[in-house]
Amino acid sequence: IYGTFLTRSGVLADFSVHSFVDLGMNGILVGFMLGYFLLGLGVFFFSRTPEKVGKPLNYNIFSRDFIMFSGMALFVILGLVVLFWSSLPLITRYLTPNPSAADVSTYNAFAFPFAIIISLFLTFSPILMGPGLKVENMKSRALIAVIIALVISGALFLLELISITIAIAALIYLSIMIIYLSEKSILKHVTRGFILSAIGIIVALFLGVRQIEYLFFIAAALIAAGAHMNIIVQYLPKRPDLAGGHLCHFGFGLMLVGILASSAFSVNEQVVIPRNQQSAAFDYAIAYHGTGGSIMQKDNEILLTLEKNGSQVDARPKFFYIQRMESMMKKPFIKKSLFYDLYISPQDIQELPHSPGLKLAKGESARVEDFEFKFINFDMGSHGASEGISVGAILEVTHNGRIDTLLPRLFSNPNAAQGGPNMLSEPAKLTGSKSYDVHIEQVFAGEGAVSFSIPGLIEHSAPDRVILDISRKPAINLLWLGTTLIFLGMVMVIYYRFKKQ
């Protein structure tokens, strides 16, 4: 609800394209926030009854209580940090003359190490039961673990392979991991996690990942996911009521890997495509055919065609003006595949100085280099049962004393209803010292005239061009798979909790 206030109040209008200008509803938004805050406090206090007696925290680091408490505390701290940085435009609005906002790198700088340490607690939460383990020689084990972790993280930092924040996270992670793994009863339970982690690192190295920070993150997330994998397999058939939480944690580990891969390894290209021309990006030939309507029309679509390996896909990103927000709305087209998603986001449509090419009326002639062109007449007819009506232009061409008759055509597109161009060109071949294709660009029926383009000889300039930002996000399906598993696990937990009651 606080996030809704930030985006709808106009506080972030100068910092985020997803934010609204001030809608004059701040009183209502603040009222909603206060109402839900008081409602939450009321539920919290009135639900506490003498029958519900809590128990003191178990400070044994080898107990599930301590692990769960530490994990929740980290989430609370992370939430408070996110709350602070999200509120920075609101805070600086009243403290400084120039409000400022945190950029994405600021969020990543603290969220990255937090995610690594949270993965550590997720790894051991399914293993520890009851009051926890009693470990002998705890002080000496802890000292050895800290020394080993300090040497490893310090060396990586001094070699400038990791940043200071990741070095601190690595020190904490490795220290606690070594302490826990010194117990053989714990080591055997996380074997699957290490196997899954090793597979993930091998795949990442094969795909070209070389940054130590990213490999460390992937390893930590997959160890956490793998630690729950064995328990899920055991519980789902026999005790599904106990499997929901483990399914959530397994999904969380996969989600972390998906978040990293789809953001850190996302690749962007920006292309500029004049109308009825194409450009290449990520092995796709992308053609621009104009727009489905006016940019002042809601949900106006940009007509694109993607071609790769002989197969075509129609892409329809949306680009239109919203009067209420006084800004352009951009909705990307997403082409989904197993290993990556391709995002095609329109950035702008620019009008271009328009040239009709070679425009001739009936009986009119024009000379271009060694060629003389004369438009004789139209040729109307059917282009076949499936293609519909066509219009041709009888063109007489004189070159070096030789006269040729050409018949380029335009015919109606049978796929126009699916968003393709209304007319398609069937060029005629013109031969001279070089070979050219003669296209009909436009028919001026009222004037009895036609405009032609001959690439390489006479160009027909496009009326506009589109600027596209194209990004490829790898492994994003891991993010959605993890999110789905978290949701399913949550549903299972709620269902069986109510069933027991």
| SS3 category, 214 | helix
pLDDT band at 321 (very low <50, low <70, confident <90, very high): confident
* Mean pLDDT, residues 462-476 taken together: 85
Q: Are residues 257 and 281 in the same domain?
A: no
Per-residue pLDDT tens over the stretch 150-184: 999 999 999 989 889 899 999 999 998 998 888 77
Residue 454 lies in a domain: yes
Residue 148 has pLDDT above 90, yes or no: yes
Tokens matching residue 440: 């009909």
Instruction: For residue 200, give the nearest of 217, 187, 186 by alpha carbon.
Output: 217
On average, the pLDDT of the chain sits at 82
Q: Which two tokens stand for residue 496?
A: 């069986």
Q: What is the CA radius of gyration of the chain?
A: 32
How confident is the model at residue 150, as a pLDDT? 94
300 and 425 inside one domain? no
What pTM value is reported for the model? 0.66
Position 18 pLDDT exceeds 60: no
Whether residue 190 sits in one domain with residue 113: yes
Lowest mean pLDDT among 95-99, 178-182, 264-268, 408-412: 95-99
Strand order in the sheet with 358-361: 358-361, 449-453, 435-444, 428-431
Residues 231 and 339 in one domain: no
Q: Which helix (H) or strand (E) holds 457?
A: none
Give mean pLDDT, residues 69-84: 86
User: What digits encode the pLDDT tens for the residues 372-394?
Assistant: 999 999 887 655 545 567 888 99
**284 falls within a domain:** yes
Residue range of the domain that includes 387: 358-460
Q: Looking at residue 389, what is its pLDDT?
A: 75
Q: 77 with 159, same domain? A: yes
Q: Are residues 326 and 374 in the same domain?
A: no
Residue 312 in any domain: the answer is yes
Examine the domain organization and report whether 366 and 322 are in the same domain.
no
Helix (H) or strand (E) holding 340: strand 340-351
Domain assignment present for 229: yes
Residues 299 and 156 in one domain: no
Give yes or no: residues 494 and 349 share one domain.
Answer: no
Identify any residues that bridge with 458 across adjacent strands, giving them in sequence order: 454
Domain count, the chain: 3
Residue 396's pLDDT is 93
Do 296 and 235 share a structural domain? no
Quote the pLDDT of residue 227.
Answer: 86
Place of tokens 């989430």: 75
| 227 and 288 housed in the same domain | no
Q: Is residue 367 part of a domain?
A: yes
User: 48 lies in a domain?
Assistant: no
Residue 11 lies in a domain: no
Number of Cβ within 10 Å of residue 342's Cβ equals: 20
Q: Which residue has the higher pLDDT, 126 or 53?
A: 126
Residue 259, burial from CB neighbour count under 10 angstroms (0-12, 13-18, 19+): buried
Confidence of residue 106 (pLDDT cuts 50, 70, 90): confident
Residues 106 and 216 in one domain: yes
pLDDT at 218: 92
Cβ-based neighbours of 375, under 8 Å, separated by 6 or more: 360, 361, 362, 363, 364, 365, 393, 394, 395, 396, 449, 450
- Contacting residues for 11 by C-beta, under 8 A, at least 6 apart: 5, 19, 89, 90, 93
77 lies in some domain: yes
